[in-house]
Amino acid sequence: MARIVMKFGGTSVADLDRIRNVAARVKREVAAGHEVAVVVSAMAGVTNQLVGWCQALSPLHDAREYDTVVATGEQVTSGLVAIALQEMGVEARSWQGWQIRLLTDGAHGKARIDRIEGAELIRRMGTGQVPVIAGFQGIGPDNRVTTLGRGGSDTSAVALAAALLADRCDIYTDVDGVYTTDPRIVAKARKLDKIAYEAMLELASVGAKVLQTRSVELAMKARVRVQVLSSFQDLPGTLVVDEDEIVEHAIVSGIAYSRDEAKVTVRRVPDRPGIAAAIFGPLAGAGVNVDMIVQNVSADGTTDMTFTLGRADLPRARKVLDDNHATIGFVEILDDPDVAKISVVGVGMRSHAGVANTMFRTLAEKGINIQVISTSEIKVSVLIGAEYTELAVRALHTAYGLDAG
């Protein structure tokens, strides 16, 4: 007998038939003798609509009222799944964040979980009852509903798995696991049986949108075994686990891409102490998240500073730089929104040399120019022209021996 948290994403609860399908899956685990807690997302499309309504009324709406509105999507599904379970003869009860007491900080719209009072849920699971928990939401220090940021019900599920001392957290979604790369781009992409937390974290943060990044961070910290699997098929998914559990290590486990980037070059700034702070301080102050940075050599006492950021932040970044022209002292600013970031990720890189070189050589052979490079212990990222995204991902997938046979 195990204790399992089963989390169902928006497409898995998109209509009443799918909700019945979810209930049947839960019933099967209960019948097998497991203690089960269910975490649900809003029905597909619902959160987008709720967010849209808030924005339509007021672009700068009050974040507390935004949370009041968007948290309702999960309230609906928690009740519906509980009803479907009861209809199948499974004892079930819905729970909102405030009822459990899933306590968060006060950052409305992107709150972080501080603590979960799990004792009552554990007690009820012990009597055979299935708690059906509204994901994505909690309660803040102001005693009001908070939400955890888009995709946050993954984080709810992992946090609950930790608090309830679950043996596993199964994340049911519309894909059947974590792939070596996006199967829509590379037909030969392979599903991974297992992936290490660290590698999953890098993949999630560089654009593989299977799990919310924060949920992986939390799983790694609390050592929660996570499984990503499809609610539409009966297949084992991908286990996200500790490195030690993985016997056979591929050097590279996946290739991710992101087209949401833009590149900015601040041309001919004086090369003096404090110039980076003069540029990046005001950007950070304006909430602009900068990713890759290169500073070029200076020949004449000036230098060029190139960096990347989310494309949506480009107009704001340009304004901040223009506003600070006097203190930065640049000659001009160039920007390029038509770029993509390609990342090669794998924990095996720690012990193998030459991974970056394989990447550079492969891209060179395809005539793809690399604009910016950044590396971490288990990741190499390059910035290239957006039009080469597919070509680069396919070539790299082959070069690292990831293609399915």
List contacts with Mg ion (CB under 5 A): 9, 151
Choose, by CB under 6 A, the member of 3, 61, 110, 150 that binds ligand ASP: 150
Nearer to ligand ASP, 40 or 103 (CB): 40
Q: Which residue has the tokens 């089960």?
A: 36
Q: Does 152 interact with ligand ASP (rule: CB under 6 A)? A: yes
Q: How many residues bind ligand ASP (CB under 6 A)?
A: 13
> Is 206:220 a contact under the CB 8 Å cutoff?
no
Shortest separation between residue 169's beta carbon and ligand ASP, angstroms: 14
Q: How far apart are CA 167 and CA 34, in angstroms?
A: 10
Let me know: does 296 contact 304? Beta carbons within 8 Å.
yes
Q: State how far the Cα of 40 lies from the Cα of 209, in Å rounded to an integer.
A: 18
The binder of 150, among Mg ion, ligand ASP, none, by C-beta within 5 to 8 A per type, is ligand ASP
By a kind-dependent CB cut-off of 5 to 8 A, residue 47 interacts, out of ligand ASP, Mg ion, none, with: ligand ASP
Q: Is 137 among the residues that bind ligand ASP (CB under 6 A)?
A: no
Q: Output the smallest distance, CB 142 to ligand ASP, in A.
A: 21
The CA distance from 269 to 182, in Å, is 39
Q: How far apart are the first and last CA of the chain?
A: 37
192-202 burial by CB neighbour count: b if 16+ within 10 A, else e?
A: bebbbbbbbbb
Could you say which of 151, 237, 254, 346 contacts ligand ASP (CB under 6 A)?
151
Interface characters, 95-134, with ligand ASP (x: CB under 6 A): ----------------------------------------
Does 195 contact ligand ASP by CB under 6 A?
no
Q: In this structure, how many other beta carbons lie within 10 angstroms of the beta carbon of residue 87?
A: 11
**Comparison of 213 and 371: residue with beta carbon closer to Mg ion:** 213
Token pair belonging to 260: 């949401």
* Amino acid, res. 300: D
Does residue 136 belong to the site contacting ligand ASP (CB under 6 A)?
Answer: yes
Residues 181/402, Cβ–Cβ less than 8 Å: yes
Q: Which of residues 33-92 bind ligand ASP (CB under 6 A)?
A: 41-42, 47, 73
Nearer to ligand ASP, 73 or 346 (CB): 73
How far is residue 179's CA from residue 247's CA, in Å, rounded to a whole number? Answer: 18
- Pairing label, strands 332-345, 254-270: antiparallel
Could you list the residues that contact ligand ASP (CB under 6 A)?
A: 9-10, 41-42, 47, 73, 135-136, 150-154
